[in-house]
Amino acid sequence: KQQMARGLPKQKPIAGVKQVIVVASGKGGVGKSTTAVNLALALMANDQSKSAGLLDVDVYGPSVPRLMNLKGNPELSDDNRMVPLTNYGVPCMSMGFLVEDASPIVWRGLMVMSAVERLLRQVDWGSLDYLVVDMPPGTGDVQLSVTQNIPIAGAVIVSTPQDIALLDAHRGAEMFKKVNVPVLGLVQNMSVFQCPNCQHQTHIFGSDGARQLADTLGISFLGDIPLHLNIREMSDKGQPVVVSCPDSTLVRYLISQSHGS
Ligand code: ADP
């Protein structure tokens, strides 16, 4: 362990941020960003004395601007750092604020790394208890760079119960282990769909795969989120369920799950 730590570049905390929680997934489209956004909101809803921010380093497909209903260019502070845009009490920073809406994000590796460096080091967060980081899917350079450059309190991995997503989630968990980032656990998303008419439940992507993977890897199983129309509709409108449906059973469950994290 010590040898590994010696081999890593020196980690430097993000100014003003107490704890960084990264949200990762093996592949895209499994609900990683939705989880990251609602986790930040739930951490604050759970304990109103706490503050949380959101950093979107999914530079190829940033979704925090849409999910948090934010757009515009960040202003610069006196010391030339970018000031996050805020909605629902959560300061947010995303590559999506720095590039034109329509321009596809096609970059060379070096440009990506300098963008990530900027997002990690040149944002004026003020003072935050938690910074939730929405990682890109997979286990590439951006993920490694984030884990090597800042101290991370823990990683939450999101997966559907589908085999292919689980395989990639497994790889993600291994990567965090290698770079000494504690894995807080696995969230299983889109496991069950309940028909709103007849209440019949269908396990569209399989039923218990993520729970089994968590067992195999010896990590916590953090929760099971159903495939639910409200989640999709409210997310697309930029109204995350934690703020748009705070009294729903699902949200009460999610907030109780985030307790003490
Ligand atoms: P990722 O970050 O893994 O690419 P997103 O969080 O952007 O995934 O989610 C992909 C799409 O699936 C979005 O349209 C989102 O609203 C929808 N979605 C995510 N989780 C759920 C869920 N539990 N029920 C319904 N729709 C969901």
Question: Tell me: the pLDDT tens digits for 201-230?
Answer: 888 887 788 888 899 989 999 988 889 888
Question: Tell me: the pLDDT tens digits for 172-200?
Answer: 999 999 999 999 999 999 988 878 788 88
Neighbours of 237 (CB within 10 A): 12
Q: Tell me the two tokens of residue 163.
A: 């085999």
Q: Which residue has its alpha carbon closest to ligand 1 atom 13?
A: 232
Question: Tell me: the pLDDT tens digits for 60-114?
Answer: 889 999 999 999 999 999 999 999 999 999 999 999 998 866 555 667 777 888 8
* Alpha carbon of 250 to ligand 1 centroid (Å): 15
* Alpha carbon of 31 to ligand 1 centroid (Å): 4
pTM of the model: 0.91
DSSP code string of 203-261: -TT-SSHHHHHHHHHT--EEEEE---HHHHHHHHTT--HHHHSTTSHHHHHHHHHHTT-
Contact between 21 and 132 under an 8 Å Cβ cutoff? The reply is: yes
CA nearest 163: which of 218, 202, 201, 213?
Answer: 213
Q: Is the CB of 143 under 6 A from ligand 1?
A: no
Minimum mean pLDDT range among 54-63, 121-130, 208-217: 208-217
Q: Tell me the two tokens of residue 71.
A: 């757009």
Q: Is the CB of 209 under 6 A from ligand 1?
A: no
Which of the listed residues 232, 234, 254 should we mutate to test ligand 1's pocket, taking the one with most ligand atoms within 8 A of CB?
232
- CATH code assigned to 17-258: 3.40.50.300
- What are residue 86's DSSP bridge partners? 91
Q: Please report the atom of ligand 1 found closest to the CA of residue 233.
A: 16
Contact between 143 and 71 under an 8 Å Cβ cutoff? The reply is: no
259: CB partners within 8 A, 6+ apart: 46
Averaged pLDDT score across all residues of the chain: 88
Model confidence at 51, pLDDT cuts 50, 70, 90, reads: very high
